[in-house]
Chain A
Amino acid sequence: AQSVSQHNHHVILSEAASLELGCNYSYGGTVNLFWYVQYPGQHLQLLLKYFSGDPLVKGIKGFEAEFIKSKFSFNLRKPSVQWSDTAEYFCAVTVTGGGNKLTFGTGTQLKVEL
């Protein structure tokens, strides 16, 4: 079964700092990768996804992620964070032909300080 690891559980940044959240998955086949954000008291929202093609994916709110197949990674980045980016971030994966069930990482709680 596939698994997803997010190594940063809690991240605290000042506004305008750059962000990179790590995500690694363990599956050797064809994967589809997602980053979701959960703002306090709200439902999960899709930030970006990778299915195929250009491994550098741009999402909403200035976020981007790079799929590096050789490293089984899909790290999330943002050049300059804002206070409103304070939220929990989840990496998730589905496996083509694997029931199309989303498997989530443990999540990273990001706090952006003014």
Chain B
Amino acid sequence: GAVVSQHPSRVICKSGTSVKIECRSLDFQATTMFWYRQFPKQSLMLMATSNEGSKATYEQGVEKDKFLINHASLTLSTLTVTSAHPEDSSFYICSARFGRVPYGYTFGSGTRLTVV
């Protein structure tokens, strides 16, 4: 149980365009999801916490206007990279919290974004 599906797995886009990444909880309701960015050979850096039905909470230094997060339902959160630039190229991973305190966390398979 507690499976998260993330799509697409890979995307290449042109500089200046926007890209949407979806994260779905398949067998549970995810009131809280998280979006991470992973640079090559580095750790996962939390970008934002996505709460169903409310605004996302962004970590310090993350541009909320560039990385738009929508969590309109209990099973879907989306991350839209707006006006993408080559420096936005990275591996983006979503995660969902499940259960009760102390929570468990499950992860999507990640999206490799390449901006050309």
Give chain A's interface residues, CB within 8 Å of chain B.
32, 34, 36, 42-46, 49, 51, 90, 94, 96, 99-107, 109
Q: A41: nearest residue on chain B (CB-CB)?
A: B109
Given contacts A94-B103, A102-B95, 10 further A-B contacts (CB under 8 A): A43-B6, A43-B93, A43-B109, A43-B110, A46-B105, A96-B101, A100-B102, A101-B49, A102-B105, A104-B44
Chain B residues numbered 65-116 whose CB sits less than 8 Å from any CB in chain A: 93, 95, 97, 101-110
Residues of A within 8 A of B93 (CB): 43-44
Residues of A within 8 A of B102 (CB): 32, 51, 94, 96, 100
Q: Is B101 a contact partner of A100 (Cβ separation < 8 A)?
A: yes
- Distance (whole angstroms) from the CB of A41 to the closest CB of chain B: 9
Is B54 interfacial (CB 8 A cutoff)? no
- Distance (whole angstroms) from the CB of A59 to the closest CB of chain B: 13
- Distance (whole angstroms) from the CB of B115 to the closest CB of chain A: 21
Q: Is A46 a contact partner of B104 (Cβ separation < 8 A)?
A: yes
Q: How many residues of B contact A (CB 8 A)?
A: 22
Q: Is A102 a contact partner of B34 (Cβ separation < 8 A)?
A: yes
In the bound complex, CA of A44 to CA of B94 (Å): 10
Q: Which of B32, B41, B46, B107 contacts A44 (CB 8 A)?
A: B107
- 8 examples of A-B residue contacts, CB within 8 angstroms: A42-B109, A45-B107, A46-B105, A96-B101, A100-B103, A102-B95, A102-B105, A104-B43
Q: B94: nearest residue on chain A (CB-CB)?
A: A43
Q: A49: nearest residue on chain B (CB-CB)?
A: B104
In the bound complex, CA of A20 to CA of B109 (Å): 26
In the bound complex, CA of A32 to CA of B104 (Å): 10
Q: B97: nearest residue on chain A (CB-CB)?
A: A100
Q: Is B104 a contact partner of A103 (Cβ separation < 8 A)?
A: no
- Distance (whole angstroms) from the CB of A102 to the closest CB of chain B: 6
In the bound complex, CA of A80 to CA of B111 (Å): 33
Q: Is A107 a contact partner of B43 (Cβ separation < 8 A)?
A: yes
Q: Is A107 a contact partner of B109 (Cβ separation < 8 A)?
A: no
In the bound complex, CA of A43 to CA of B3 (Å): 11
Q: Which 6 A-B pairs have the closest CB atoms?
A: A43-B109, A44-B107, A32-B102, A106-B43, A104-B43, A104-B44
